[in-house]
Amino acid sequence: MSKPVFKPLLLGLGLAAAASGGASAETFRAATWNAANSPNTRFLNDVAELVAEASGGEMEFEVYSGGSLLPPDGTLPGLESGVAQLANITAAYIPSDMPINNILADLSFMADDQLALAFAATEANFFDPMLRGELDDKNIVFATGFTIGIYNLICGFEADSIDDFQGRKIRTSSSAQIAFTEEIGGVSVSVPGTEIYTGIQRGSLDCAMGTPLFLTDFFKLNEVAKSVYLMPFGSNANGGYYFNKDFWQDRTPEERRILLNALSRATARSMIDWAADIEAAIEAAREAGVALNEPEETGMEQLNDFKARFLEDLPQSSMDKRGVEDPTEMIANVTALIDKWKGLLAEVDTSDLDAVTALLDREIFDKVDVETYGME
């Protein structure tokens, strides 16, 4: 079996040849701005290996990580122009280009289950008319989705009650997080992720809303945090992985099915591994002496009341803020899909790769018509 190449390559050396002729005519480029050891890079490596194996080496991907091929805010134009054939796009970096997809990021605040949100967002991106329509004027095709873990409050002090955040400086990263922080009397602060550690260490930040991986892999906050208030503040399901449309349309139906099969299994593996990494991060925090405090009933009541109001206001606020058509139907669809996937996942072992892949195939990927999808 031909092995995909997993190392960054210099731009300008053979990029044109990689996609348009010669001995490497069927070697394509997959790109992420995330680091080489990130879940996104591991996902692309997995897709590359699965595709190479299933195609007998007829389709191979070279994986470029760390922004070596495309930067975060340059991924969309780079993918459209064929610099890469597969890449992950973070829609939050290009809100004017993908305003509908950014509503998914807003909706993510409602979620308390990472896998359910990831798979609901994936299904919606494939089949929801409003989300699909957003790509009509773009030279890309949706491939699959993902989400990072559910956010909690990671603090440099002992926090075990919603009342503990009055006047506290809290690093936030979405409009919903900002609104809830203000509702509980906190002060929302915007700083780069790389400055969270020193902010908590020096006291210029009291807390950060973040996933448990902020404690370990991302920012090593278990070295400075005193507690994690385990209230679920949703996640961030925006963007996902996309193909260059010309690449997709140039494939045979059989090749497109190979790609979808690889995406399904790699998506299942990625989200299973991500969940395991989160469990490991929580355990590492516990071993480091960080208090892991469950939210009290009154705190959860306040959060749930806020979520209900936020969801009710989201269609109008999206039209006002993002200049989009009425997204009420799309929002209702995604909300129902999150509930659907919570139910489906409750019926399987979510650590079983074969079981989760079969579920994704049945509910999503097998329903994608390779003769028509992305061929407009």
Residue 232's pLDDT band (cuts 50, 70, 90):
very high
Distance CA 217, CA 112 (A): 21
Distance CA 209, CA 104 (A): 18
> Average pLDDT over the chain, rounded to whole?
92
CA 253 to each of CA 95, 248, 260, 371: distance values in angstroms, whole numbers, following the listed order: 33, 10, 11, 6
Average of pLDDT values for 322-338? Answer: 97
User: Residues 102-154: pLDDT tens digits?
Assistant: 999 899 999 999 999 999 999 999 999 999 999 999 999 999 999 989 999 99
Q: Which of 253, 244, 241 is nearest to 372 (CA)?
A: 253
Give the angle 278-281-282 at the CA atoms, nearest 5°.
Answer: 90
For the whole model, what pTM was predicted?
0.88
Pairing of strands 291-293, 227-229: parallel
Give the angle 97-103-105 at the CA atoms, nearest 5°.
Answer: 100
34-43, 149-158, 316-325: range with lowest mean pLDDT = 34-43
Q: Does domain 152-234+290-311 have CATH number 3.40.190.10?
A: yes
pLDDT at 10 over 90: no
Query: Residue 138, SS3?
Result: coil
44-83 burial string, b = 16+ CB within 10 Å, else e? bbbbbbbbbebbeeebbbbbbbebbbbebebbbebbbebb
15-24, 113-122, 217-226, 325-334: range with lowest mean pLDDT = 15-24
Distance CA 100, CA 330 (A): 9
Cβ distance 101 to 239 under 8 Å? yes
pLDDT at 325 over 80: yes
142-178 burial string, b = 16+ CB within 10 Å, else e? bbbbbbbbbbbbbbbeebbebebbeebbbbbbbbbbb
Tokens coding 361:
């195939």
Cβ distance 84 to 30 under 8 Å? yes
Cβ distance 338 to 346 under 8 Å? no
**What pLDDT does 276 receive?**
95
pLDDT at 164 over 80: yes
CA 244 to each of CA 7, 27, 211, 247: distance values in angstroms, whole numbers, following the listed order: 21, 14, 31, 5
Average of pLDDT values for 286-312? Answer: 97
**What pLDDT does 11 receive?**
40
